[in-house]
A and B are shown apart, each in its own frame.
Chain A
Amino acid sequence: MSIKHQNLVVSAAPHVNNPVDTAVIMRDVCIALVPALAWSIYIFGFRALLLTAVCMCASVFFEWAVRRIMHRDSSTIKDWSAAVTGMILAFNLPVGLPLWMAIVGCFVAIVIVKQLFGGLGQNFANPAIVARIALFVGFAGKMAEWSVTGKMAAAILNASPDAITGPTPLALLAKGAEVPNNAQMFLGFINGSMGEISAAALIIGGLYLVFRKVISPAIPLSYMATVAVLALCFGLDPIFQLCAGGVMLGAIFMATDYVTSPITTAGKIIFGIGCGVFTMLIRQFGAYPEGASFAILLMNILTPHIDNWTKTKLNGVEKGGKK
């Protein structure tokens, strides 16, 4: 009879075991995304659910297929990371985007950004962000077509059912037109990418993640604080700037990606501030109305350097001395 059968485990230290693994964390992220998904189904109708399902299935399929082709262990689809990437990517897309374009986005995210660099833990940038930017630059027209598909949406967003496209709040602001009030912005009675419209639903998900200790609040808080402070500096409405565009979705779900954000709290705060600064600079001075995804991508690339700057000082090691 082996030792295992007697419930005796012989192993090297450490002996404290935490049952939380990648799959548990990723499942928590999925759960945290549900309120925002529910809200977007309420606003945009069934198409939102379809787009999310297609993105999740395509991502998981690409993960499985590419790992099979590259002769790697294809059981990584069980860790939910591909599903989360697909879900977050769907949240970043306009709800009326042709499905094949969404699948191209999943290909970019999973195959190019994630697996070609070595899979989960090796990717230099958040796959969903790079996919969003690739689609944004590649299919500029379609990605900026904010069609209002659901009947509910037409009623809520004050668009007549004939005129099925409506601009996002940031586009309205850029044009100098009247923008929705802050309550509409916060609750999500606005147009925009599928999952980013309701700040309230995203915050509920974020609180769940913080409560479950999946994410540290350092990055979201420093990101949002920077956006608010810079909005005041530029003479803009901070609540509008926080609730508009991808700041909430980016700060809570994309900037906090373990692989592409710094390890230490100090590093996380630098990372969040950097994201906020670049977001506001692009919104204010850039050619695009929204810059959250570009800001996060830029900070993703800087993450190794931030980690280097904010290395924890080892106890008993003199400054500049050797170990």
Chain B
Amino acid sequence: MEKKSKLQILTNGFIKENPVLVLVIGTCPTLALSTQAINGIGMGLSVLFVLTCSNIFISALKKVIPDTVRIPCYIVVIAAFVTIVQLVISAFFPSLNDSLGVYIPLIVVNCIILGRAEMFANKNSVIDSALDGIGMGIGYTIALTLMGCIRELLGNGTLFGVTVTANVITPMTIMTMAPGGFLTFGVMIAIVNKITKGKVREKQQNKCLGCPGSAFCSEKEEGGEQ
């Protein structure tokens, strides 16, 4: 793998390898939580914190963790940070805690965090892993908040809880329901594809990297053929 600069590692997650819109991992909380913009920020920052900390820890411990039981080890590290986040949110932001609900504890099994641990942190240095975690976390936050803004504006007529269009035009409630989530998600993926001209996949050195299952796929080790 060719060496990337620190800045590249950081900005990689923004658009080029955006975890949600390009790698298409961690879609379940994305679809469920992007009904409101504020949810997107809350969830995004929680993931950003957990991802950065777990990337640092896993990267630092990569020599210690035996290869055969690495996934359980990652889960333990991730779960520890998720617990911290959950306690902090429920202590200081009870309303956010209510609206995020079960999705905070579910960060433990979020594909993005496990995926980045497997794809990046266990191969790279601590600093690189931290930058990757921050970048991916920011990318996730951007995607979720943007989706939340679109769905909240169209489906509820508000933005961050402030009424924008609700008293002018009747909001289309379907946008805050599941169909609206899939619709917004699909359109955003299409737009990102258009911006990056669909070249992201081709540029990846490891063909498997774009695959959502790459974190757990055994063929990756043998350089599987997509």
Contact = CB atoms under 8 A, between A and B. Distances in A.
Nearest to B176: A138
Interface string A84-128: 000000000000001011001000000010000000000000000
Contacts, number: 21
Interface in B166-183: 169-170, 172-175, 177, 179, 183
Contacts of A288: none
A104 B175 CA distance: 13
A138 B183 contact: no
Contacts of A139: 170, 172-173
Interface of B is mostly: helix
Give the size range of A's interface with the partner. Answer: 10 to 19
Interface in B139-195: 169-170, 172-175, 177, 179, 183
Contacts of A112: 183
B175 A100 contact: no
- Chain B contact residues (Cβ within 8 angstroms of A): what range? under 10
B169 A137 contact: no
A157 interface: no
Interface string A274-314: 00000000000000000000000000000000000000000
A137 B171 CA distance: 11
Nearest to B174: A138
A199 to B, nearest CB: 30
A109 to B, nearest CB: 14
B169 A138 contact: no
A197 B177 CA distance: 31
Nearest to B183: A112
A56 to B, nearest CB: 22
A140 interface: yes
A139 B170 CA distance: 7
A137 B183 contact: no
A99 to B, nearest CB: 12
Interface of A: 98, 100-101, 104, 112, 134, 137-142
The 3 A-B residue pairs whose C-beta atoms are closest, nearest first, are A138-B174, A138-B172, A137-B174
